A and B are shown apart, each in its own frame.
Chain A
Amino acid sequence: KQEVTQIPAALSVPEGENLVLNCSFTDSAIYNLQWFRQDPGKGLTSLLLIQSSQREQTSGRLNASLDKSSGRSTLYIAASQPGDSATYLCAVSQGGSEKLVFGKGTKLTVNP
């Protein structure tokens, strides 16, 4: 059974700092990995999707990497801003079922 772990559970940084969020998964037979953002009491917004054959994806100040063999992904946020404050969720999809398995998320607070 696939399990997704995210560390840290919470992170507080000053504005402007670069930061890294971590995601690990137990079964490396994934089809892709996604990073989502969730604001308090809201739904999910997809940030980046990395196919299993890819090593990284970039969107603006966000960069996500994938090391499928070791079961790890990182989300790098450059020059953090207070508006980046949210919970970041990592999810993987298996090659067979295509269902999404989520981690518990990392709650990020960027202080002005």
Chain B
Amino acid sequence: GAVVSQHPSRVICKSGTSVKIECRSLDFQATTMFWYRQFPKKSLMLMATSNEGSKATYEQGVEKDKFLINHASLTLSTLTVTSAHPEDSSFYICSAQSPGERTDTQYFGPGTRLTVL
């Protein structure tokens, strides 16, 4: 149980385009999902917390207009990187919290490798 998927697993795009990444909880309803970013040899950094039916809460320093998060259903959250630039190239990982469990009990997706040319 508690499986989280991400799509796509890899994406390459041109600078200036927008890219959408999907995060799905496959066998449970996730009221809260999290988006992380991981640079090579760096820590996972929390970007934002996504709650179903409400606006996402962004961490300090993360541009909400650039990283659009939509949590439209209890099983799906999307991250859209708008007007992507090479510096946005990174590994993006989502996680989901199962209802009734603490926030630090998160189930992680397999990640999405974004490369912006």
A98 sits at the interface (CB 8 A): yes
In this complex, the member of B43, B95, B102 whose beta carbon has the largest number of chain A beta carbons within 10 angstroms is B43
A42 sits at the interface (CB 8 A): yes
A-side residues, CB < 8 A to B, are 4, 9, 31-32, 34, 36, 41-45, 49, 89, 91, 93, 97-105
List 18 contacting pairs A-B, 8 Å CB cutoff, sorted by A.
A4-B43, A31-B102, A31-B104, A34-B104, A41-B91, A43-B4, A43-B93, A43-B109, A43-B110, A44-B93, A44-B95, A91-B104, A93-B102, A97-B103, A100-B104, A101-B43, A102-B44, A104-B42
Q: Which residue of A lies closest to B97 (CB)?
A: A98
In this complex, the member of A4, A36, A43 whose beta carbon has the largest number of chain B beta carbons within 10 angstroms is A43
B-side residues, CB < 8 A to A, are 4, 6, 41-46, 91, 93, 95, 102-106, 108-111, 113
- B98, chain A: closest CB distance, angstroms: 13
Q: Which residue of A lies closest to B44 (CB)?
A: A102
Q: In the complex, how many residue pairs between chain A and chain B have their CB atoms under 8 Å apart?
A: 51
What chain A residues lie within 8 Å of B95 (beta carbons)?
44
What chain A residues lie within 8 Å of B113 (beta carbons)?
41
What chain B residues lie within 8 Å of A43 (beta carbons)?
4, 6, 93, 108-111
